[in-house]
Amino acid sequence: MVLNPVISKLTGKLVVLASASPRRLEILTNVGLRFEVVPSWFKETLDKALFKTPQDYAVETARQKALEVATRMPYKHLKTPDIVIGADTVVAVDGQILEKPSDKQDAYRMLSSLSGKEHSVFTGVAIVLCQDQEDKEVDYKVVDFYEETKVKFADLSEDMLWEYINSGEPMDKAGGYGIQALGGMLVEYVHGDFLNVVGFPLNHFCKTLDTIYNSPPASPDHKSQWEDLGETWPLVNSLSKCAENGELEPSDSGNCGASDAASVSGASASASWVQEQNVVGPESALASTCGCNREEFPHKIVDLMDGFKASKALFAACKLNVFDVLSVSADLSPKEVAERVKASEEGSARLLDACVSLGLLERRTRDDGDHVYSNTEEASRFLVADSPLSLHGYILHCNDLVWPLFSHLESAVREGTNQYERAFGKKSEDLFQDAYYKKEEVKLRFMNAMHSIAKVSVKDLATAFDLSMFKTACDVGGCTGAMAYEFTQIYPEMSVTVFDLPQVIAMSDRFQPKDQNDRVTFVAGDFFKDPLPKAELYILARILHDWSLEKVHQLLDKLSKECNPGSGVLVCEILLDEEQRGPSRAFLQALSMTEGSQRSASQYTLLLGQHGFTQTHLKHTNNLLDAVLFVKE
């Protein structure tokens, strides 16, 4: 049984993966499943002592993750998913679950306990089916299962143990190893599903989907375990509390109701259906205590009303370098943060608490009773200015350029034009000249923004398809060369030319990586006026949506004349679907009123087809940009 027959049944459905695991994302993407990623806020702090077996714990954790996302999305994301997939993988030896190691010594303890022994890897999977009812309530059905794979380690020498530990790989892996990478050298044999050890039991998942869509169980015996879900809702989503203004926010307690986990779960070893009757979300469990009624209180609208405050809190924290300060010294008090960012203690305390509520910071109470703050893992990866995947530069760009523009949105809609002149006191072409030709700080800010966006999205774009047949590439409008360097890392035989305006190229050396190579070169020019460098593959990332149709045809005509049969064009843009729907960021971006347009894959196919290019591959990356590969006929 394969997934393809099931995919057709999922067409048009909103499928959500409640996990940020790159391994699970890759496994599901590789078999053609289209889905969104919405990481769960459920804190994995269930008391393991309450569960009879490790697999019971894994199934229950997966269920909590999936249900949290399924019930949050209608209120926080303003849409109800059709299917939410939750998963949790644990490593167990002698009946004991091994967590992620806290440090190198802990990793040594774990790996030593596995040396020369067979252990089990369990992945619990929960699939939540969501259906809007006529009365606007949501009906949830849950099916869960687990998969066990036996893994045996070789007898590990001290040298091999420490060589692996010092690689750094064990530190974010359950059980202290990753079989799909360097950890594979420790393994003597695997009995069972290999992908289950990587993080997701694909075969069992496919069979379960087949059961759901072709022969779903209807026995009332399968409806018993979660009939009382409303009474145990704090356990289900771990974030349901009623704020003073009637809004729902993440709970400070990640172990709320954990003592009921085993009795609620049952954690069945085979797939079991669970149906909740008349469950509409967190409000149904809390209505008696807070008086909230979904029919009376417009949660979606209120979330949108306050959305700009959340954005500005993020922008301000980045502008004040809060995340950078906390990356140097964690567990700082508001007073200590205020001193470092040169702000008031009261204002800093309020901003820090706002960032905690947004999931950007963590707060704990010291022995002396003071609150101290530290970055979340996500903030450390994406908000600290010098982290490899930092979005800091783009966030400052949004704060300094995009935010002022959107403060004049009413005028933009009335006039159908951009609002540069109102926002900055100058015409848009003058601002462009200012950004590129006058103030160095403005040029650097723009280039930092483009560099950070490229760093976050480039790997998914470069690996969307196998591009190894192209030995030369040209990144048109490639700015700092971030994409070019990543492409040459992934394709060792490829050389890439970055083609951009002279003023951009002149400053590109400030962004060169430490491990730069001589296969990336920079050429200055205007892609509308000057000849394009010769290449077998042309990369157009965030280019075509920005320009008028006339200019797009002008650029594509130049490309067509440069390309020989078999040459490629890689278009990287936000893709709408065939009904002109897509990620909200595509339509919000369009409100800036540039002369360009957001398009679907078929519209790009028609557009490039007029210049002799045929679409050969398409991939939705679940990142900032999607990818379409075209080849010259």
Is 209 within 8 Å of 6 (Cβ atoms)? Answer: yes
Cα 79 from chain centre: 17
The DSSP-derived string for 251-317 is: -S-TTTTGGGHHHHH---SS-EEEE-SS--SHHHHHHHHH---TTTS-HHHHHHHHHHHHHHHHHHH
Using the Cα atoms of residue 222, residue 227, residue 232 and residue 233 in order, give the sign of their dihedral.
positive
Is 280 within 8 Å of 287 (Cβ atoms)? Answer: no
Coil vs helix vs strand at 450: helix
CA proximity to 443, closest of 386, 501, 493 = 501
Coil vs helix vs strand at 364: strand
Residue carrying structure tokens 């990144």: 475
Give whole-number Cα distances, 168 to 121, 161, 176, 187, in Å.
21, 12, 10, 18
| 460 tagged catalytic | no
Residue 438 neighbours by CB distance under 10 Å: 12
Strand pairing category for 96-98 and 83-93: antiparallel
Q: For residues 153 and 273, what is the distance between their CA atoms, to the nearest angstrom?
A: 36
Q: What's the token pair of residue 537?
A: 């593959």
Residue 606 neighbours by CB distance under 10 Å: 12
Angle 577-582-584 from CA coordinates, rounded to 5°: 170
Q: Which long-range contacts (CB under 8 A, 24 or more apart) does 429-434 make?
A: none
CA proximity to 230, closest of 171, 195, 277, 192 = 277
Q: For residues 62 and 40, what is the distance between their CA atoms, to the nearest angstrom?
A: 10
Is 152 within 8 Å of 110 (Cβ atoms)? Answer: no
Is 527 within 8 Å of 477 (Cβ atoms)? Answer: yes
The DSSP-derived string for 54-97 is: HHHHHHHHHHHHHHHHHHHIIIIISS--SEEEEEEEEEEETTEE
Is 212 within 8 Å of 126 (Cβ atoms)? Answer: no
Q: Which residues have CB under 8 Å from 163's CB, separation 6+?
A: none
Q: What is the CA radius of gyration of the chain?
A: 26
Q: For residues 109 and 156, what is the distance between their CA atoms, to the nearest angstrom?
A: 12
CA proximity to 128, closest of 82, 188, 77 = 82
Which residue in 88, 324, 500, 626 is the catalytic one?
A: 88
Q: For residues 174 and 22, what is the distance between their CA atoms, to the nearest angstrom?
A: 14
CA proximity to 242, closest of 287, 176, 279 = 287
Q: What's the token pair of residue 422?
A: 């109102």
Question: Residue 408: which H helix or E strand, with range?
Answer: none
Residues carrying an active site annotation: 88
